Structure 1
Amino acid sequence: MTVVQGTRPRVNAGRLNGHIAALGDIGRGPGGGVTRLAFTAEDVQGRAYVAGLMLEAGLAVEVDAAGNLIGRRRGADGTAPALVLGSHIDTVVNGGAYDGAYGVLAAVEVARVLHEEGVRLRHPLVVVAFCDEEGAHGTMGMLGAHGFTGALPAGFGEERDNRGITIADLLAAVGGDHLRLDEAAWTRDEIAAYLELHIEQGSVLERLGVPIGVVESITGRLNLTVTVEGVAGHAGTTPMEHRVDALDAAARVLLAVRSIAADEGIVLRATTGTCSVEPGMWNVIPGLVRLGVEFRDVTASALDDAVARLGELAQEIAKATGTQIEIGLGARTTPVDCHPGLRDLIARCAAELGLSSHRLPSGAGHDAQIVARIAPIGMIFVPSTGGVSHAPDEHTPPDQLTQGADVLLSAVLQLDGGLVAGR
C-alpha cells in the first residue's frame, strides 16, 4: 500500500482508549489508584495483556534477558535499522493509569493500524514495554532500558531489592535471564530512531490550551544526603540560647534548597523529599537530622552549580547554628537533549494534523533518556489534567490521547520515508 499525503491512516480512538482503561483495571485499588509494581503478579498480568495486544497487531512477541517485552514487525529492507517506539507499564504505588502505559498502548495501536491497513514500512518497527521503569522495591529504576542499552553492570543479577530478593529472581519472574543480559543490548547501528509518547505529568500544556508537547530535553537529576549534626539535650531544661538544634539548622537547609531553584534560578527544580530526625522524641532536642535532597535541570553544569551553592549556604548555616553539616553525593542521571530533527518532525506532524504544539523540557525522567545513549530520541507529550501524575486522579481526556497517538503514527510514517538529518 502506498500512503500519500492527505490519506494517512489514523488510530482507532475507541480501541486505544478501551485498551488504556482495561490495562488500568489491572492493579486498580478501591480508591481508584493503580498499583502495578514491576515483577509483581499484577505486572505479570499486565504484561500478558499487552503481549496479547501485540500479537493482535501482527507483532512477533518476545521477552529479552532484561525483562523487556518486545514486539517486532519486519521491514521491507532487511538491512535497515529499526524504528523503536516504547515506554513502560509498571506503576508507582497507588499511581495512575496513564503514566508509561499510554505510550506502550499507543505504540501497539500504531503497529495495529499499519498491520490492518497493509502498510509495509521499509524499516523494521519495534515496540518495547521497558521493564521496571519506576524502580520497584528499591531497584535501580529504568532497569530494562539500561539492559536495552548494555549499561547494566557485571554481576547485576546478584544485587538485591530492599526486601532481599535478588535481581536474578525478579527477572526470572517476568521471563528475563540475568545470565544473558549482554544479549539484551542493542547497538547504535540497529536503531534509526526512538520515539516515546507520554502524558506530560505537569500542567504547562493544559494551561496553554495546547494539545501536543514537543519535548526539547529531559532533565537530569542529582540526589544528595545532607547530614546535620547538633547536640541532643533535654527539651525542658536546656535554655534556647544554649541549644545546638540539628532540626533548626536542617530547616534552614531546606529553605536554602528551595531558594536555589525558586529564588536564584540555578536549577529548574529543587526538592527536599525526606527527613529523618534522631532521637525523634517530643522531649529531646534533635541531635541528628538527615535530609534527602534532589536537584533537576536540563544541563549537567547547572546541577554542579547547585551542589556548590548548597555547600556555601550549608557552611553559613553551620556557622550560625553551631552545627556540623555534611553533603553526600548520591545517584545522578545525566540530562539529555532530544534530537533536533525529531523535534522538528513531531511539530510538523502535529501541524499537518491541525494540532498546535509547544516545545518544553521534561521535568520527569523517562526510558528515552537512557535509550539516548545509543539512538536519536524524540518525545511527544499530551496534556495532564491539573498536572496530576503518580496519583489516582491522573487523567488525560480521550480525544487528547487519540491526538497524541495520531502524531506518533504520522511521525513513524514520515520517518520511514526519510530519516531526519544528523542521524
Structure 2
Amino acid sequence: MSTAEIVIERIERLARISAYTWNLTRRVFSPRQAEAEGLVLAWMEGAGLSARRDPAGNLVGRIEGSIPGGPAIVIGGHVDTRADASRHDGTLGVLMGIAAVERMVRQGTPLHYAVEVIAFVEDAASRFPVPRLGSRAVVGRIDPHMLDFDDDYGVTLRQAMEAHGLDPEGLTGARRSVGDVLAYVEVAAEAGPTLEQSGSPVGVVPALTASSVLRITLKGAAVDAATVPMAFRHDALAGMAECVLEAERIGPSRDRATVTVGRVDAQSVPVSVVTGSVTFAVIVQSSDDDGRHAIVAELVAAFDRIAGRRRLEIAIERGIDPDATRCDPGLVGLFQRAVEASGHPIVQLPHGITTDASNMSVVAPIGSVLLRCRGSVGWGSAGSVEPADVEVGLDVLTLVLGVLASGSDTAPAAILSGRRQSF
C-alpha cells in the first residue's frame, strides 16, 4: 500500500468515529474526539515524532532539528469536526503532515529546524462559540471569560476541558512566542470545484478569503392583498426579491468575489396579506479587501435606491469586517516551485474558508495549498480526494518542509527524485 493510500485509509478510519451513523460529527472534547485523538497520537509516534497534548488540548507531534528545543516549522490541521462534516476537513492536513515527516526521516533529509504537526482543537466552533480555540491559545488570543461559554446542553467549555483531562486554568500555557514558529503551512481539500475544472491536482493559496456581512431590514405595510391595488402597496417581500436580483447582478462583476443572500426572516402573515417586513443577510467574500469593500458600497447604494423607489423603510447593519489574511510571498513562491517540480501547472486560488492560519499569521509567515476534491460542494460528505492527488500533494509538501527545515534556499533534489516511501 502506498503512502497516499494509507493516508486515505486513515481518513476513512477517522470518518467512522462519529457521534452519529448518518453523518460525520465529532465534537471537540467529546468521547468520540478522544478516540480519534488516540489514533492520531499513535500515528505520530509511529512516524518518529514525539507526541503530546499541549495545555489547550492541541495534539503536537515534533521531530527535533539540530538544535533541541529550537524553533519549528509547523503544519496544522484539526481532528474535531463541525456537524455533518467532510471526512477530509482538517484531518487531511494532519495526516499528510505526519506522512511527509516520516518520508523526510526515511530519506535522511537534514533538519536544521524542528518540524511539528499540530492538530488544533475547536477549529469550526461546532460545540462552543470559540472558533479556532487551539490556535487562539497558541498565539495568545484567549479571553478567560471564554471558559464560561456553554454548548447546547449547558456544558461549559471549562467543564468539557476538565472531562477531557485538561486544566482550564492552564489554557494560556499553550502560547508560543514570536520566533518559536518559523513558518506555518496548511494542506486542505478544496471545498469547491475550481481545481476539478482546471485539471490541476494542487492549488497554491495567495490569501485566505475574508467576509463582509450585511443584515438588511425592509419595512413596508401589511395590508389586505384583495382590497389594496398593487400600485398602493409597500411590499417588503417584493422589495427583497429585487434586492436579491441586484445582488446577483453585482456579484459576478468582480473576479474572485462571491455575493450570497441567505437567512431570510419574513413577517408571518396569511396568504391573503402583503408582507410588511422582511430581514435578510448578504455575505460578500473575497481575498481582495478593496474589491470586497467596493462591492459592499455598491450593494448598499442599490438597496437604498430600491427601498426609496418602493417607499420602504430600510435599515442596514454591518458585521465585523476583517481584512483578508495574506500568505507570505516567499512561501507562495516556494509552493509554486514545488508544484512545478512535481510536473503540474500552477493554479492560484484563494482559500474560501477561515482557518487556523489566520491566527498563526500573528506569530509566523503562513503558506497553504489545496488538493483537488472531486464533486466537492464545501459541505457535508460530498467530494472525494483521490490517492494520486494525495501523492502529488505529499511530493509538494515534503519538498517545502524539507527546504524550510534544512534552512537552505534551494530544494534538495533527493526529496522529489527519491523513491516514494510508504509508512
Determine which of 15, 19, 41 is the counterpart of 1:24: 15
- Kindly indicate whether the alpha-carbon contact (under 8 Å) linking 2:375 and 2:382 is maintained by their aligned counterparts in 1: no
Q: Equivalent residue of 1:386, what SS?
A: coil
- Which segment drifts farther, 219-228 or 372-381? 219-228
Give the deviation of 1:309 after TM superposition.
Answer: 2.1
Determine which of 270, 281, 286 is the counterpart of 1:292: 281
Give the deviation of 1:120 after TM superposition.
Answer: 5.4
Matched, 1:249 2:239: yes
Q: Equivalent residue of 2:262, what SS?
A: strand
Q: Corresponding residue for 1:7? A: none
Partners of 2:152 and 2:313 lie apart in 1 by: 30
Q: Corresponding residue for 2:4? A: 13
Go from structure 1 to structure 2 and tell me whether the alpha carbon gap of 1:105 and 1:324 turns closer, same or farther (over 3 Å shift). Answer: same
Go from structure 1 to structure 2 and tell me whether the alpha carbon gap of 1:73 and 1:298 turns closer, same or farther (over 3 Å shift). Answer: same
Q: Equivalent residue of 1:111, what SS?
A: helix
Q: Corresponding residue for 1:5? A: none
Give the deviation of 1:298 after TM superposition.
Answer: 1.2
Aligned-residue Cα RMSD (Å) equals: 2.6
1:312-323 equivalences in 2 (<5 Å): 312-323=301-312
1:60-99 equivalences in 2 (<5 Å): 60-78=50-68, 80-99=70-89
Go from structure 1 to structure 2 and tell me whether the alpha carbon gap of 1:160 and 1:314 turns closer, same or farther (over 3 Å shift). Answer: farther
- Kindly indicate whether the alpha-carbon contact (under 8 Å) linking 1:156 and 1:178 is maintained by their aligned counterparts in 2: no
- Kindly indicate whether the alpha-carbon contact (under 8 Å) linking 2:214 and 2:318 is maintained by their aligned counterparts in 1: yes
Go from structure 1 to structure 2 and tell me whether the alpha carbon gap of 1:148 and 1:280 turns closer, same or farther (over 3 Å shift). Answer: farther
Listed one character per residue, the Cα deviations across residues 268-288 of structure 1 (whole Å, up to 9, x for unaligned) are 111112111122543443222
Give the deviation of 1:106 after TM superposition.
Answer: 0.6
Listed one character per residue, the Cα deviations across residues 256-279 of structure 1 (whole Å, up to 9, x for unaligned) are 33333223x287111112111122
1:153-168 equivalences in 2 (<5 Å): 153-161=143-151, 163-168=153-158
Give the deviation of 1:169 after TM superposition.
Answer: 2.7
Listed one character per residue, the Cα deviations across residues 141-163 of structure 1 (whole Å, up to 9, x for unaligned) are 22222222212334221233455
- Which segment drifts farther, 329-338 or 398-407? 329-338
- Which segment drifts farther, 367-376 or 90-99? 90-99
Q: Corresponding residue for 2:315? A: 326
Q: Equivalent residue of 2:204, what SS?
A: strand
Q: Equivalent residue of 2:399, what SS?
A: helix
Q: Equivalent residue of 2:319, what SS?
A: strand
Go from structure 1 to structure 2 and tell me whether the alpha carbon gap of 1:273 and 1:162 turns closer, same or farther (over 3 Å shift). Answer: farther
Go from structure 1 to structure 2 and tell me whether the alpha carbon gap of 1:216 and 1:300 turns closer, same or farther (over 3 Å shift). Answer: same
- Give the alignment's TM-score, normalised by structure 2: 0.88
Task: Name the amino acid aligned to 2:15.
Answer: G
How many residue pairs get matched?
Answer: 410
- Which segment drifts farther, 126-135 or 180-189? 180-189
Q: Corresponding residue for 2:407? A: 418
Partners of 1:170 and 1:24 lie apart in 2 by: 22
- Kindly indicate whether the alpha-carbon contact (under 8 Å) linking 1:24 and 1:34 is maintained by their aligned counterparts in 2: yes
Q: Corresponding residue for 1:395? A: 384
Q: Equivalent residue of 2:24, what SS?
A: coil
Task: Name the amino acid aligned to 1:149.
Answer: V
Task: Name the amino acid aligned to 2:236.
Answer: A
Matched, 1:47 2:40: no
Listed one character per residue, the Cα deviations across residues 217-272 of structure 1 (whole Å, up to 9, x for unaligned) are 11111222212222223344443233222212222222233333223x28711111
Q: Corresponding residue for 2:215? A: 225
- Give the alignment's TM-score, normalised by structure 1: 0.88
Q: Corresponding residue for 1:109? A: 99
Partners of 2:128 and 2:391 lie apart in 1 by: 34
Go from structure 1 to structure 2 and tell me whether the alpha carbon gap of 1:133 and 1:300 turns closer, same or farther (over 3 Å shift). Answer: same
Q: Equivalent residue of 1:152, what SS?
A: coil
- Kindly indicate whether the alpha-carbon contact (under 8 Å) linking 1:197 and 1:380 is maintained by their aligned counterparts in 2: yes
Give the deviation of 1:181 after TM superposition.
Answer: 2.9
Q: Equivalent residue of 1:332, what SS?
A: coil
- Which segment drifts farther, 246-255 or 58-67? 58-67
Give the deviation of 1:375 after TM superposition.
Answer: 0.8
Go from structure 1 to structure 2 and tell me whether the alpha carbon gap of 1:281 and 1:180 turns closer, same or farther (over 3 Å shift). Answer: farther
The alignment-based identity, stated in percent, is: 28
- Kindly indicate whether the alpha-carbon contact (under 8 Å) linking 2:113 and 2:406 is maintained by their aligned counterparts in 1: no
